[in-house]
Chain A
Amino acid sequence: MNEKDIENLTLESYENEFSFKENKSNLNISFNRIAFIFFIFLMVCLIYSIKVFYLGSLNSKILQKKTYPTKVNFRADIVDNKGNFIAKTVNTLTVGINPNLIINQRKLLINLQLIFPDKDFSNIKKKIKKKKYFRIQKGLNQDQIERLRHLGDKAIQFEQQITRIYPQQNLFSHIIGQIDDENNGISGIEKFFDYELKKKNEPLKLTVDTDIQFLIREELIKAQEIFQNIGSASILMNVNNGNILSLVSLPDFDLNKRQNIQDVNYINRATKGVYELGSVFKTFTFAAGLNEEEIKLETPFIDLEKKIYCAGRPIGEYDDKIPTNLTAEEILIRSGNIGSVRIGQKVGIERFKLFLENIGVLNKIEFDIEEVGQPIPFRWGKCKLATASFGHGITTTPLQLAKGYSIITNGGYEIKPTLIEREISNKKEKKRFLKEGVSEKVNSVLRKIVSTSEGTAEFANVLGYEVGGKTGTAQKSINGVYSKKKVNTFAAVFPMSKPKYVLIVLLDEPVPNKEYVYHYRDGRPSYKGNWRNTAGWTSVEIAGKIIEKIGPILATKYIELN
């Protein structure tokens, strides 16, 4: 083949075989995919950015919470409102044995037996055989430390530990709670403020007053001897700021002994105990009636029945001597059940329910310890309204009762019960649940319940303190069935001309004492042989004794100087 032929051949083959075509459709699919993925990424980034901005703009509680440097073997002290120690941390030494370093086991055990004669050494021998480090004794005293050091045995090892000392022993057991061996709070304030106690330098200051707490506890112990009640509770609270000056629940326990208590009788009755409290609720019904302008103090209730029926169940008066014609004020003074039902019916379900929610007796309360009871929920209906109006079929805790009475008597301003002394900020305006003048009207009636012979609480009429309040006697419900056992409560407020304190006294299952001598406060001769198991003859008597004791302290120590 010559050169010309080759050229022709090449050209022919080029023209026939090479053909380039752009695959437009494929390129389009790829671009859309990339754009779609990019869009997804953009959206994810956008969502996260919005979330980051949102979180950044929030006044987060986590950010607000102060962070403190980590400390080893540290737990801040707890003091009362005057700086007296309630819980104190003391550094102690614990001695342990490392069996791998023992040279002469027999000699070591003899020496240890001389230092700790009460120890069970058969158990220690068993532990040595396991060849693992173990502790022998916590909280060594100076003499024991010196004697152990003089032994000079490498197997004996010391550990720095902290021990919590409670100089007031039983006095604040239900408030303070306990810690475990690893410095973790397991109940009460010790648990709720565990983080702060481990990190903060300053002691945790409570609102409670040791002297008042002691006096109230003493009176409750005496009450237990008189009325043989299985337990009792008391709360003393400032009605204007919710500061709790005393919170006692009996029976209590010695915090220094670190008992593992399983008995339910040892629950904190003041905050965890959920009870039907009876007639103390009538004050709420009465206040709701005044607030909703359904009644006035002098509104007449004519021809009140002695007994009414709701869903086939009778509702009667506790005292047949209660007249059939009463004013609204008299209904509360004489603690009339039927009259309270009528007031409740005037208020109506929705408004009564909202009122109880506002004053904080219906739902679980937020508090400074975890041991808080949950009022038993129920479905509202006509019968429920009737029974709730006089405090039956409705439950709450004594703490919430104290809150409710505080709001009713302080002018209707919201308060939050607290055990921790906090700086009061005046910036926030308090919510007000009662209309102008309602509180004053309720207070005047509460005072009459104590100061007049028609009232049910004359044993609490301590001269000089203008005590007011309302009694509540309720049958105890055991496994959903009403028993003959009672829960007797008295909610006292004083001084009534300018309320400052609310005192709740609850006796669980008291029994009348016929040998106990009652001294009337109006000069009448003493009385012995009481058979009535009502709050007026039990809780009120104890509340009167308590106010007599703590009154001078409250009047002088907490005096407001102008």
Chain B
Amino acid sequence: MKKIILLLAIFLLLIFTTITKNSAKKIEKQIYNSKENLRILEQKYEMVLLDFHYLSSPEKLMEYQSRYFENELKEIDITNLKKLSLIQNEIQIEQFIDLKNE
């Protein structure tokens, strides 16, 4: 009886080992594929980012501004800017720039 139990245990362990090994192999393959996909996506992302940085560079933005938004965008005088702060549930409006030293 003991021998049968021992053989059965060995047999079961063999099966479990095989299953685990196969699963590990599958997971390894999936990890490899994911890494490769990620690498390609990263490369694409870097290229898109480069495009974005080029297209949104100050020189390009000025070009778009003069071409499309000439009358819509205007400079704001910093002395006209205000700061909003929430103090004890009340909104307080202050000058953005302190003009007392001017």
Chain A residues at the B interface, C-beta cutoff of 8 Å: 84-85, 88, 90, 165, 167-169, 171, 210-211, 214-215, 451, 463-466, 495-497, 551-552, 555
With contacts A464-B102, A466-B101 taken as known, whether A85 is within 8 angstroms of B50 at the C-beta atoms is yes
Docked CA distance A167–B50 (Å) = 8
Query: B96, A88: Cβ atoms under 8 Å?
Result: no
Q: Which of A85, A211, A497, A551 has most B Cβ within 10 Å?
A: A85
Query: B97, A167: Cβ atoms under 8 Å?
Result: no
Q: Which residues of B contact A466 (CB under 8 A)?
A: 101-102
> Is B54 at the interface (CB under 8 A from chain A)?
yes
Docked CA distance A96–B38 (Å) = 31
Q: Which residue of B lies closest to A215 (CB)?
A: B58
Query: A464, B50: Cβ atoms under 8 Å?
Result: no
Docked CA distance A496–B99 (Å) = 12
> Is B79 at the interface (CB under 8 A from chain A)?
yes
Query: A167, B76: Cβ atoms under 8 Å?
Result: no
Docked CA distance A551–B79 (Å) = 11
10 closest A-B pairs (Cβ-Cβ)? A214-B58, A167-B54, A464-B97, A85-B53, A497-B101, A464-B78, A464-B79, A466-B101, A84-B53, A552-B78
Total of A-B residue pairs, C-beta within 8 Å: 47
Q: Which residues of A contact B76 (CB under 8 A)?
A: 552
Docked CA distance A167–B97 (Å) = 35
With contacts A88-B50, A210-B57 taken as known, whether A555 is within 8 angstroms of B78 at the C-beta atoms is yes
Q: Which residue of B lies closest to A463 (CB)?
A: B79
From residue 65 to 102 of chain B, which have CB atoms closer than 8 A to chain A? 76, 78-79, 96-99, 101-102
Distance in angstroms from A277 CB to nearest chain B CB is: 28
Contact with A along B37-51 (1 / 0, CB 8 A): 000000000110110
Distance in angstroms from A356 CB to nearest chain B CB is: 30
Docked CA distance A555–B78 (Å) = 9
Q: Which residues of A contact B57 (CB under 8 A)?
A: 84, 167-168, 210, 214
Q: Which residue of A lies closest to B54 (CB)?
A: A167
Q: Which residues of B contact A495 (CB under 8 A)?
A: 101
Docked CA distance A340–B62 (Å) = 45
Q: What would 19 more interface pairs be, CB under 8 Å, given A165-B50, A463-B79? A: A84-B57, A85-B50, A85-B53, A88-B50, A90-B47, A167-B50, A167-B54, A171-B59, A211-B58, A215-B58, A463-B102, A464-B79, A466-B102, A496-B101, A497-B98, A497-B101, A551-B78, A555-B78, A555-B96
Query: B99, A464: Cβ atoms under 8 Å?
Result: yes
Docked CA distance A369–B58 (Å) = 25
Q: Which residue of B lies closest to A210 (CB)?
A: B58
Q: Which residues of A contact B99 (CB under 8 A)?
A: 463-464
Which of A167, A169, A215 lies in contact with B53, CB distance below 8 A? A167
Chain B residues at the A interface, C-beta cutoff of 8 Å: 46-47, 49-50, 53-54, 57-59, 76, 78-79, 96-99, 101-102
Docked CA distance A106–B96 (Å) = 74
Q: Which residue of B lies closest to A447 (CB)?
A: B101
Q: Which residues of A contact B97 (CB under 8 A)?
A: 464-465, 555
Q: Which residues of A contact B47 (CB under 8 A)?
A: 90
Q: Which residues of A contact B96 (CB under 8 A)?
A: 555
Q: Which residue of A lies closest to B79 (CB)?
A: A464
Interchain Cβ contacts under 8 Å between A and B, 19 examples: A84-B57, A85-B49, A88-B46, A90-B50, A165-B50, A167-B54, A214-B57, A214-B58, A451-B102, A463-B79, A463-B102, A464-B102, A466-B101, A466-B102, A495-B101, A496-B101, A497-B101, A552-B78, A555-B96
Docked CA distance A464–B76 (Å) = 13
Distance in angstroms from B65 CB to nearest chain A CB is: 13
Q: Which of B49, B50, B58, B98 has most A Cβ within 10 Å?
A: B58
Distance in angstroms from A61 CB to nearest chain B CB is: 33
Q: Which residues of A contact B78 (CB under 8 A)?
A: 464, 551-552, 555
Docked CA distance A49–B57 (Å) = 59
Q: Which residues of A contact B53 (CB under 8 A)?
A: 84-85, 167
Docked CA distance A496–B96 (Å) = 17
Docked CA distance A464–B102 (Å) = 7
Q: Which residues of B contact A168 (CB under 8 A)?
A: 57, 59
Q: Which residues of B contact A214 (CB under 8 A)?
A: 57-59
Q: Which residues of B contact A465 (CB under 8 A)?
A: 97
Docked CA distance A495–B96 (Å) = 14
Distance in angstroms from A203 CB to nearest chain B CB is: 10
Distance in angstroms from B88 CB to nearest chain A CB is: 17
Q: Which residues of A contact B59 (CB under 8 A)?
A: 168-169, 171, 214
Distance in angstroms from A519 CB to nearest chain B CB is: 15
Q: Which residues of B contact A90 (CB under 8 A)?
A: 47, 50
Distance in angstroms from B100 CB to nearest chain A CB is: 9
Docked CA distance A210–B58 (Å) = 8
Distance in angstroms from B91 CB to nearest chain A CB is: 17
Docked CA distance A168–B58 (Å) = 9
Docked CA distance A211–B96 (Å) = 21
Q: Which residue of A lies closest to B83 (CB)?
A: A559
Q: Which residue of B lies closest to A80 (CB)?
A: B53
